Structure 1
Amino acid sequence: MDKRLFFFCAGIASCLWWPWLPARELWIPLAILSVAGGQTRPAAAAFMLGVVWVLCFSHWQLSWLQTTDAMGRSQIMTARVLEVQPRQDGVSRLIVGLTHLQGQALSPRPRVLLSWYGENPSPQPGDRFSAITQLSPPHSLLNPGSFNSARWLLGQGITARGYITGTLAISPARTGLRQQLLHRFNLSTHSLASQAWLRALSFGERSGLTSDDWTMLRALGVSHLFAISGLHIGLVAGLGWLAGRLTGHYTTGLVAALLLAAGYAWLAGFGVATQRALLMLALWLGLLWWGRFWSGRRILLSTMALLLAVNPWLVLNLGFWMSVLAVAALLALAGGRRSLWRLQLGLGLLLLPLVMLLFGGVSSLSVPVNLILIPLFSLLLIPLLLVACCLLLLWPPLAAPVFSLLNSLFTPLMSALHWLAAYLSPWAELSAFAQGMILLLMLLSLALLLPAGRWLALPLVWLAGLLLWPGPSWQVRVLDVGQGLSVLVTQGERALLYDTGNRFPSGFNMADGVILPLLARLGISKLDYLIISHEDSDHSANRHYLASRLPVAKRWGAWPHGMPCRAGQLRQWGRLQLEMHWPVSPSGHRNNDSCVLRITDGRLAVLLTGDIERRAEQVLISRKTRLQAQLLLSPHHGSGSSSSAALIEAVSPAWVVHTAGFGNRWGFPAEEVQARYQAAGVHQLITGQDGMIHFAASGDQWRRVGQGRPGPWYQQLAAWRETGRNAVGPLE
């Protein structure tokens, strides 16, 4: 049974690596193969069944994208609010279930993420409303170290995102019991400094936590304490068991444990980790009542199979894997008598590879801090919080003193944790090289403990040699920053950054989202040059923020107190020469004032052009400067106002990169521009389609590293939708 459960889950998890979404008709032969092999090859049959199920589920959930004309233009929609995620910057995010689009009923009802702007309060969970909206399929910026929003959206069951341009009508829902309790909680704790922490622990509502709070939780490795999961559900169930056993009946204790745990999970909003913990608890209690024994492994596999049978897209949810693998690690360490510190240390070591891969670093204080906080939460804080929540339901006035007591405990505790995170700096960002070496050392140590492990160690030593092999002399990375520009040029650990991408009213910015994670991944801790081509926000918006986050040796271009760009400037940077060809009279405020920089090692060159337009191109060519470069960034993101035939001839590139955002409203790169480059025989790439574009120097030509997008199927949904629409067509 364990083997079949494992391979069923593995079949569903295989969708993580599908290069494309197979045709829906493929489920029939796969199902036949699964049934035919059920007796002779049960593991293979279970794997095939998992593949069939996730394939059918994916097509069922995504079908509305191909059968409705929903993307890229304004639509009238009717929806029910499922979840509200308020933000401090005045922008709320709504997760809604669409019922109608342009008057057409939808089935299944797709989950959509919408941005709500403005001062008017957003609808609340349960409300129904009609609005004008613009939608787009899930899409993510594709850079090493960047957050994969397409995967995150599907992992939440969300198949489109968009924003509201006008609200037509709102029908408030009746306030449910959970909302009433949350309202009572807010009234009882409105003056408490630790209200946000108490709300996160009792209701699973973590929107009140600030970015500094999240940074502290990550730095100390204690985020799991505020994501209601196995620790909290198990503790509440234990309290229910003790209360039930006071009656003297074994079954009453089991029922009380399950009911109290289910009530707490309901109060917390049934998150993924909560669902897993509650389901495992229900299976275990059911087996106890039945008088049967299952191993922890079988209970975990059964829980995974049940959750994935209901929602196969949970495999795209990183929280699901963190929860499952943490339990698996605990089960692996559960044998024999182990002290708490040894158990915590073992858990930290087993989860170290996953934490490094997901968060790009490790915390040096995770083990000691958890050794203190886990007993504190288990024996004092969670029981007190549970008593306060029960009083909210039964006698609200008595809940306030308990919350005040909790506040007196939480306030100094959180202050101490913030102090630890700020002054001891326990979080260590690890480059991809450091992560690879740590993983290889761990695997090598494991291999040497196995019989004949020395033979397994040989390929690991070979991989270590590849990691230590010197890289190319210099590299160019054109980052995927949406509709904007940012280019990173590196010589080993030395770096030059040309432009910084944009930042938005929502708080999201390309420095935190793209540039800083990439620099950390590459092990780069400072910039030799930060060059800003001109003042437009899609080029310059993060200059001051980046300069505050890491040392910048030289500031060049559109800086208040930097060195302005001027034609004729030459700088030697390591083995490379920096040649500034434009502007002649700098001001930095217009497109035609953009810094035009040529970087060369004497044989190979890249030309960075900012947003110059045809008039500047003509003057630049007339100056008879050396513009030839094998790699060109098309001026102004491929706008029709730039990339004249004369410029293309003067540069004579082998490659051109258009830094145009996915589905941008200007239609960049323009069709006539692409036609001119094609006529000149130039290879063209677009960041919005290909993700980050990476070139490495190889003699007198550029070698493209990797092939960028398409990547897994969930990063190609826009192209998949268009292919399907051409075949199916919209419903009338």
Structure 2
Amino acid sequence: MLLTALLAGLLTPLCLTRLPALPWWGWLLFPLFACLLRRRPAGRLLLVFALGACWALAWHQLQLAQRLPTELDNQTLELVGTVAALPEQTETGWRFMVRDGHTLDGRSLPLMRLHWWGGEGVRAGEQWQLTVRLRAPRGMRNPGTFDYEAWLYAQGIGAVGSVRAGRRIAAAPALGQWRDRLHQHLGGTLVSQDNRRLLALLIGDRQALSDADWEVLQRTGTSHLLVISGLHVGMLALAFFVLVQLLLRCSLWHWPWPQLWLAAPLALGAAAGYALLAGMAVPVQRALLMCAAALLLQLWRRSVAPLTIWLLAMCLVVLANPAAPLRAGFWLSFMAVGLLILAMGGRLHNRGLWWRWGRAQWVAFVGLWPWLVLWGMPASGASMLINLLAIPWISLLVVPLALLGSLMELALGWSQPLLLAAWLLNLLMTVLAWAGSWSPLIYLPFPGWASWCLALAGSLLLLLPGAVVVRPLALLCLLPLLMAEQTRPAPGELRVVTLDVGQGLSVLLQTSGHTLLYDAGARLASGFDLGEAVVVPSLLALGVERLDVLLVSHGDNDHAGGVPSVIRMLPTERLIAGEPERLQGLGAQACRHGESWSWDGVEFTLLRAALSDAPANGQSCVLQVRAGEQGLLLPGDIRQAEEYALLPQLESADLLLAPHHGSRSSSSYAFIRRVAPHWVVYSAAYHSPYGHPHPLVVQRYQELGSDAIYTGHSGAVGFILGRSGSISPEWRWREAARRFWHQ
């Protein structure tokens, strides 16, 4: 109970939208007050809870204080720092971390995550002088999408930026780049791209796996196998423990002390070394701590319940980093182990090996569903069957052979065992690619906290040993997870959600029975696809399972780059585009001026100026919508010339998406007066590289009485049209889902 109270205290601050404004010593008042109640029945629990909460609050306060100062946000600086961790080579340059950074005038800087477009190679441990444009850690904010700000915060990253120029001023010390040198040496042996996959298992190099590899792993539910996970660390520790004991028994050399005294430290040392290769990710920390606890208890001849060891490891990880629970890997790794301990306790002594193995896969498959839904992650329908074979293949064949082969390569120059391990891994990837072609990916929207908690209770009841009587009740509890209902607008109403896709556009329009998506964001030069990473997860979280119409204003990347991913991941009945010739192979229909239709009492009309010799922006397909007495206008990137050409067809609109993200080339006075919007939404990146929206454009809308919303500031924003009275935002996601680590 004390460990549970401590964990609850450590986790509670993560629910806060803002941290209380207290100095670090102010947090001591709470445990001092709890000390007065320690003699009461619940006093000790309250004291431990208060100590955990105060530690976490003080830690978070110090962590936030180490972020990039506001006055340096979006500024170009000259700095000196040391390359940390293992740099990643991207399609466009290098991405790496810099620690111990400071400006040339001596001002300290936080841990930074930088990207150097087209830059020269960097190595871990090197010291560089860099010209960097730094930004505060900030991400796009949309329903159901990856929280980039939480990910940065959990890793202690206080600034991000892009490198303009740099020069190496000091080479790395030998100890500082051992992992990098190992990466280079083994990479020289594993020459082909397929063989280099093995680096993911040897030194935790996630970059060694291509996008196609990750897609295969996701579709088969085996992503945990191709990184250095807790499973591999635990298996390695167990193998070393058993191997040392066998060698001592068979050796002629007499060990004068108990075998445990040698086997346990060596097993723990092997696990720690492997964990260091992985970069000490949270699942690896959990496995290492649990191994350490189990081995120490063996040395002390103590018997402690496995759940207690599990809970102790969780508390230690959160004590070391109270922001660790902000990452999905923390919960998925700990919950997987906890579920196995809970569901298989007391049932192993009278069961065969295959029953235990099959039961373990069933427990992980059923028990992790609620946690996958919580984090907006898809589940593979065939993962249970695939893991039955994939886990022993990796853990018993590939990993031991890869580690042994690495040692032989480094010590003797023999590469054959390492290449054999790579061949075995490639063979498995071929099988997984075949299995992934028929393995369905299941996306479930978050059903709300009440339904999710009910489903979590149902999954636990379903897996409890001997709980046969309550299984019908458990299945009923799971129904809200599988049948989550999303609210839709009433007939005659229209929901408009402008997503936060940075420098681009994507707008969701929903009636009571139909769905239209206007544009799909960009696909960046780095390979990051906003259609796949932002648009589709947001639509799924909002209850969209199919699109009646995907309307692409024109072919520019910031509007059409994410279209292929959206079509691939969501059934789409009709694709309309202002420039269909630029969407080759997707079956796009041309936008026809004047085409109109009605859905559930809401009127839609397409407009297109089609001026001769107009650039891509001028070819934009404009969408005009009328819901009752209220209107919406989505003009794409039209210029002032197209605005004047369309003036006779334009109606007033209560809600307007600023043409061309608020560019100075658009939003003429005549256009604004004609549309007379009550609200204007600027879909542009925070610190837009193009200066969108232009101050003169913002001033025009202000002069004519329009209220403004900036997706770069508010995140995704939702409106409902068609109701009586004036419209106002239904929600702004940055505020609706705010936590203290968000900018």
Query: TM-score under structure 2 normalisation?
Result: 0.86
Counting only pairs closer than 5 Å after superposition, residues 655-670 of structure 1 correspond to structure 2 as 655-670=679-694
> 2:430 — aligned with what?
415
> How far 1:327 moved relative to its partner?
1.8
1:429-485 Cα shifts (integer Å, max 9, x gaps): 334569997875665687898999999999999999993776433321111111222
Secondary structure of the equivalent of 2:208? coil
- Structure 2 counterpart of 1:426, which letter? P
Contact 2:379 2:443 in 1 (8 A): yes
The alpha-carbon distance between structure 1 residues 272 and 564, as it changes in their structure 2 partners (threshold 3 A), is same
> How far 1:96 moved relative to its partner?
1.5
Contact 1:12 1:51 in 2 (8 A): yes
The alpha-carbon distance between structure 1 residues 553 and 586, as it changes in their structure 2 partners (threshold 3 A), is farther
1:610 to 630, 636, 655: 636
2:379 to 341, 362, 381: 362
> 1:327 — aligned with what?
337
> 2:485 — aligned with what?
467
> 2:359 — aligned with what?
342
- Structure 2 counterpart of 1:155, which letter? A
> How far 1:12 moved relative to its partner?
2.6
> 1:21 — aligned with what?
19
- Structure 2 counterpart of 1:277, which letter? A
> 1:51 — aligned with what?
53
Contact 2:627 2:721 in 1 (8 A): no
The alpha-carbon distance between structure 1 residues 242 and 547, as it changes in their structure 2 partners (threshold 3 A), is closer
> 1:166 — aligned with what?
165
Percent identical residues: 31
- The unaligned stretches of length 5 or more in structure 1 are 718-732
Once structures 1 and 2 are overlaid, which stretch shifts more, 604-613 or 62-71? 62-71
> 2:4 — aligned with what?
6
Once structures 1 and 2 are overlaid, which stretch shifts more, 424-433 or 32-41? 424-433
For 2:296 and 2:54, locate their aligned partners in 1 and report how far apart those are by CA, in whole Å. 30
Secondary structure of the equivalent of 1:126? coil
1:503 to 520, 523, 542: 523
> 2:439 — aligned with what?
425
Contact 1:494 1:524 in 2 (8 A): no
For 1:626 and 1:411, locate their aligned partners in 2 and report how far apart those are by CA, in whole Å. 59
Counting only pairs closer than 5 Å after superposition, residues 227-626 of structure 1 correspond to structure 2 as 227-245=227-245, 246-248=247-249, 249-338=259-348, 339-393=356-410, 395-398=411-414, 400-422=415-437, 424-432=438-446, 443=457, 467=485, 471-473=489-491, 474-492=494-512, 494-522=514-542, 524-543=544-563, 546-547=566-567, 550-560=571-581, 564-565=590-591, 567-573=593-599, 575-583=601-609, 585=611, 589-621=615-647, 623=648, 625-626=649-650
> How far 1:528 moved relative to its partner?
3.1
Q: Does 1:182 align with 2:180?
A: no
> How far 1:651 moved relative to its partner?
2.6
For 2:723 and 2:399, locate their aligned partners in 1 and report how far apart those are by CA, in whole Å. 63
For 1:579 and 1:615, locate their aligned partners in 2 and report how far apart those are by CA, in whole Å. 20
Contact 2:406 2:418 in 1 (8 A): no
Contact 2:549 2:572 in 1 (8 A): no
For 1:198 and 1:11, locate their aligned partners in 2 and report how far apart those are by CA, in whole Å. 40
Q: Does 1:143 align with 2:133?
A: no
Secondary structure of the equivalent of 1:560? helix
Higher relative contact order (CA 8 A, sep 6+): 1
1:105-132 Cα shifts (integer Å, max 9, x gaps): 42xx6221101221x5321111110110
For 1:454 and 1:342, locate their aligned partners in 2 and report how far apart those are by CA, in whole Å. 19
- The unaligned stretches of length 5 or more in structure 2 are 250-258, 349-355, 583-587
Contact 1:141 1:482 in 2 (8 A): yes
- Structure 2 counterpart of 1:607, which letter? L
Secondary structure of the equivalent of 2:248? coil
The alpha-carbon distance between structure 1 residues 589 and 672, as it changes in their structure 2 partners (threshold 3 A), is closer
Contact 2:86 2:179 in 1 (8 A): no
Counting only pairs closer than 5 Å after superposition, residues 34-183 of structure 1 correspond to structure 2 as 34-38=31-35, 39-40=38-39, 41-65=43-67, 67=69, 69-106=71-108, 110-118=110-118, 120-176=119-175, 177-183=178-184
The alpha-carbon distance between structure 1 residues 555 and 87, as it changes in their structure 2 partners (threshold 3 A), is farther
The alpha-carbon distance between structure 1 residues 567 and 386, as it changes in their structure 2 partners (threshold 3 A), is closer
> How far 1:532 moved relative to its partner?
2.8
For 1:76 and 1:382, locate their aligned partners in 2 and report how far apart those are by CA, in whole Å. 44
Secondary structure of the equivalent of 1:347? helix
For 2:44 and 2:156, locate their aligned partners in 1 and report how far apart those are by CA, in whole Å. 30
- Structure 2 counterpart of 1:415, which letter? T
For 1:554 and 1:469, locate their aligned partners in 2 and report how far apart those are by CA, in whole Å. 25
Once structures 1 and 2 are overlaid, which stretch shifts more, 428-437 or 684-693? 428-437
Q: Does 1:33 align with 2:49?
A: no
The alpha-carbon distance between structure 1 residues 493 and 289, as it changes in their structure 2 partners (threshold 3 A), is farther
Once structures 1 and 2 are overlaid, which stretch shifts more, 172-181 or 263-272? 172-181
Secondary structure of the equivalent of 1:597? strand
> How far 1:153 moved relative to its partner?
1.0
Secondary structure of the equivalent of 2:629? coil
Contact 2:236 2:270 in 1 (8 A): yes
For 1:326 and 1:111, locate their aligned partners in 2 and report how far apart those are by CA, in whole Å. 31
The alpha-carbon distance between structure 1 residues 573 and 97, as it changes in their structure 2 partners (threshold 3 A), is same
For 2:9 and 2:738, locate their aligned partners in 1 and report how far apart those are by CA, in whole Å. 16
Once structures 1 and 2 are overlaid, which stretch shifts more, 671-680 or 159-168? 671-680
> 1:726 — aligned with what?
none
The alpha-carbon distance between structure 1 residues 346 and 590, as it changes in their structure 2 partners (threshold 3 A), is closer
Contact 2:457 2:474 in 1 (8 A): no
Contact 1:440 1:464 in 2 (8 A): no
For 2:482 and 2:556, locate their aligned partners in 1 and report how far apart those are by CA, in whole Å. 44
Query: TM-score under structure 1 normalisation?
Result: 0.87
The alpha-carbon distance between structure 1 residues 171 and 646, as it changes in their structure 2 partners (threshold 3 A), is same
Contact 1:659 1:686 in 2 (8 A): yes
- Structure 2 counterpart of 1:427, which letter? L
> How far 1:373 moved relative to its partner?
2.3
For 2:278 and 2:608, locate their aligned partners in 1 and report how far apart those are by CA, in whole Å. 59
Once structures 1 and 2 are overlaid, which stretch shifts more, 427-436 or 702-711? 427-436
The alpha-carbon distance between structure 1 residues 80 and 281, as it changes in their structure 2 partners (threshold 3 A), is same
Contact 2:202 2:277 in 1 (8 A): yes
Contact 2:495 2:720 in 1 (8 A): yes
For 1:128 and 1:260, locate their aligned partners in 2 and report how far apart those are by CA, in whole Å. 30
- Structure 2 counterpart of 1:16, which letter? L
1:340-393 Cα shifts (integer Å, max 9, x gaps): 212221222111111233243321211112222223333333322232233244
Contact 1:123 1:170 in 2 (8 A): no
- Structure 2 counterpart of 1:188, which letter? T
Contact 2:76 2:132 in 1 (8 A): yes
Q: Over the residues paired in the alignment, what is the CA RMSD in angstroms?
A: 3.4
Contact 1:534 1:589 in 2 (8 A): no
Q: Does 1:716 align with 2:734?
A: no
For 1:454 and 1:217, locate their aligned partners in 2 and report how far apart those are by CA, in whole Å. 33
- Structure 2 counterpart of 1:425, which letter? S
